[in-house]
Amino acid sequence: MVYHHEELNVIQNGSFENLTPTVQPGWTTRTADKWGIWVDTTVTTVAPIVMVDTIYHPDGLRSLKISSPAPNKSRLTVNQGNIPVIPNQEYRMSAKFKTQVLTGDNSTYGVNIRAVYLNSTGGVIRTDYITPENTSVRGNITDFKTYTTSTIAPPNAVTARMDIEYNRVGLRGATACGIVAVYVTK
């Protein structure tokens, strides 16, 4: 017997195709609709360049590009919140990244995507990362590479937030591009 399962992407504008009419705070140019930015001002010495790129893109016509040339230190999150989730439902996270000179002295330096599950009061229940054991994407990956993992929403989860985490504290220059999707099987 063969079963056909339809998948629905719960991320809005995951390939960064849709833009806002004006540049929003934190974005350098071309603000991606439905995405916000949080900058860790305690370690970010110079605002990184955050934009929708039209040159390098694995699918469609655009991708997210974050860059922070050395010796600047940067830590930020491009995020999308208030994503409704179903408790105990399995979700498949998928992202494509390429990096350039994204290196550092600590394994947390680099780029990662995480699903942050929240309860009805907005409290964090659990965080799941797309790469194994929270190992960030780093180094020189010259072509877009796909990363995929599955996660199950906790029993008391109501919403989730998807974070594209960029950590360039102590790095020697960096650029990262990518797209993100989270699918639920219907």
Please give the average pLDDT of every successive group of 10 residues along the chain, which has 186 residues. Answer: 68 90 84 91 82 83 79 81 95 83 61 91 94 64 82 96 79 59 66
d(CA 181, CA 15): 8
Stated pTM of the model = 0.85
d(Cα 71, Cα 13) in Å, to the nearest integer?
A: 32
Q: Domains in the chain, start-ordered, CATH in brackets? A: 7-185 (2.60.120.260)
pLDDT value at residue 1: 45
